[in-house]
Amino acid sequence: MKVFQHVSDIGDLKQAIEEALQIKADRYQYQSLGKNKTCMLIFFNNSLRTRLSTQKAAMNLGMNVIVLDVNQGAWKLETERGVIMDGDKSEHLLEAIPVMGCYCDIIGVRSFARFENREDDYQEKILNQFIKYSGKPVFFMESATVHPLQAFADLITIEEYKRNQRPKVVLTWAPHPKSLPQAVPNSFAQWMNAADVNFVVTHPEGYELDPLFVGDAKVEYDQLKAFEGADFIYAKNWSCPGVTRPEDYGKVLSKDMSWTVDTKHMELTNNAYFMHCLPVRRNMIVTDDVIESPTSIVIPEAANREISAQVVLKRMLESL
């Protein structure tokens, strides 16, 4: 595997889940695979889970790990070609990327949507430069449009907890005070569409996800109706994807607190498990009662981030 961005990059999903569960049963069985190999993790944005779980996954495989916080200690980077660099940015990404590639075997990059220009974000300008100029396999640790390590971990978690063969999985928008990217819901939708689940998306009008990711999934604008009979509730905020009105891209169109997932919502479900990628704003996205309930699986979900990362790194090591 040379790039990990979309669900198609992982190949057969059933096989990938089997591999994940096999790794989870003994996560140190491939310790020699990563010997003398270096994984570089580059963060343009903050992280708790991605940073720790990916580092742990690489160490489980016997790899050396280098973590770079671009905004703390590195030169300020220019990302646009053609700019006269007479400002505060000392280095261009076009030199920095191949230099980083010299010091490692595999690169993971986190670079969020900037919300300056929808086209730039959806073209994945930063990550595509890493793919083009690093000379190394690149995996996405949440980009402008996707968060595949999260979606893979979510799918592993659903497989572990499902109580029937084809569970109903509901992705619900929930309110948040700030503009958040669409990367998590985009990837979640893409992976659920590829999995054997009954997938439903619910959000207020204006929050339609890009067709590239939501595909033919059922969209239900009535949140309470969507929750009926659900086996899994996956809550997440996202800002306006700008599908119907490009001028609204990245805007907060609603802070309607009736969309906050509370016990009344959960009572409509089939005793559903509650999921969220974390970090989560309590009593905006979900009430204390729901996230602390016995059916909240946010912690096992986060734990599976180590496993999804390890499958991806293992496959990249095998393809070196």
Q: Kindly indicate which of the ranges 57-65, 76-84, 94-102, 271-279 contains the residues binding ligand CP, using the contact rule CB under 6 A.
A: 271-279
Q: Which of 21, 30, 38, 47 binds ligand CP (CB under 6 A)?
A: 47
Instruction: Residue 309: name the closest of 151, 159, 185, 197 by CA.
Output: 151
Task: Select 243 or 297, whichever has its Cβ closest to ligand CP.
Answer: 297
Task: Select 112 or 207, whichever has its Cβ closest to ligand CP.
Answer: 112
Crossing angle for the helix pair 298-318 and 49-60, to the nearest 10 degrees: 50
Q: Does 50 bind ligand CP (CB under 6 A)?
A: yes
Q: Does 143 bind ligand CP (CB under 6 A)?
A: no
Q: Does 49 bind ligand CP (CB under 6 A)?
A: yes
Task: Select 112 or 213, whichever has its Cβ closest to ligand CP.
Answer: 112
With beta carbons less than 8 A apart as the criterion, state whether 143 and 172 touch: no
C-alpha span between 303 and 44 (Å, rounded): 23
Q: Does 111 bind ligand CP (CB under 6 A)?
A: no
Q: Does 278 bind ligand CP (CB under 6 A)?
A: yes
Q: Measured at CB, which residue is nearest to ligand CP?
A: 50
C-alpha span between 219 and 208 (Å, rounded): 9
Site for ligand CP in 150-179 (CB under 6 A): 150
Q: Could you list the residues that contact ligand CP (CB under 6 A)?
A: 47-50, 142, 150, 277-279
